[in-house]
Chains A and B, each alone.
Chain A
């Protein structure tokens, strides 16, 4: 992890359009954000796409970063990308339900091809509701404080704290 001075220099470079600085940001954060996307989607291909989208968005939006925690800002973008993905997925699901009769065989094939071997954590995370799963992953991968997470999610800090507590307690039971 780069020191804060290095990070500030890299961000300044990114703002001035230095491709090398963007490359450094990719090296610094790709692993964490890949883990975040993978734990939320359970799909490597989707995680690949979302990670690519995140860094392209970074290039587009870097000029709007006005200081504060860069990681929190980047996680906010990542969270929005994930929500867009979920909405898109829901739209596709609805569309497929309408055309269910025709496409039933194709869906089964797609499911089989995308079936990955999940670790125990991934399987149990899948049993949590999407909102709780996202909160746990945001807390774990962003390393942000509760105050920052509450701000990212636009909810009171007490709500964030309570949801995370319940979520982790449930996950703990599922993992036993």
Chain B
């Protein structure tokens, strides 16, 4: 095996950077002589059997490498898929929690609960008519008292009527 020009290039220039000029020639000559000795003694060559074994071994090693790479790819894919599924599951869980219970809206009604819940439409109408009539009667009595037309019982009569009105109103809302 001979050294090529690449390794011999600039040998003199190289030595000039590190040695005195008078020693450069000798150094280059020492190296060239040493290399000639190496070239004249060839090392043994590898057996053909060894080369065949090495080729078989590299092919087997290559196969193992490919199998490992494939296995790693499968593991990675499975890990990524598992991670994705986990994220989706957590996301769904959080979404469901975020929605919570349906909000209760507080509502009120001016109509009696008993009237809404009752199935007896005719009876309910009659009750309502009675109540309305009573309220109207009390209202007219109250007006007469306020105008002094009821014989002069004064503020007591007004208070009495107001109490009666409140009672009727309470009964109506109770149903």
A interface size (C-beta, 8 A) = 47
Residue in A30, A59, A119, A167 whose CB lies within 8 Å of B41: A119
Chain B residues touching A, majority SS: helix
Q: Which of B15, B18, B50, B54 has the most CB of A within 10 A?
A: B54
> What residues on A are CB-neighbors of B30 within 8 Å?
165, 168-169, 172
A34: which B residues are within 8 A, CB to CB? 43-46
Residue B57, interface by CB 8 Å: yes
B50–A51 CB distance below 8 A? yes
> Does any Cβ of B come within 8 Å of A31's Cβ?
yes
Chain B residues close to A by CB (< 8 Å): 1, 3-4, 6-7, 9, 14-15, 17-18, 27, 30-31, 33-35, 37-38, 41-47, 50-51, 53-55, 57-59, 61-62, 65-66
Decide yes or no: A162 and B18 within 8 Å by CB, A52-B54, A119-B41, A140-B35 being known contacts.
yes
Per a CB cutoff under 8 Å, which of A22, A30, A38, A146 touches B14? A146
A157 to B15 Cα, complex, angstroms: 10
Q: Is A44 an interface residue (CB 8 A)?
A: yes
Contact B41 A55 (CB under 8 A): no
Complex-state Cα separation, A51 to B44, whole angstroms: 13
CB distance from B71 to the nearest CB of A (A): 15
Task: From known contacts A161-B15, A172-B30, infer whether A38 and B44 are also in contact, taking CB-CB under 8 Å.
Answer: yes
Residues of B within 8 A of A97 (CB): none
Return the chain A residue nearest B47 by Cβ: A48
B65 and A60: CB pair below 8 A? yes
Q: How far is the CA of A157 from the CA of B54 in the complex (A)?
A: 35
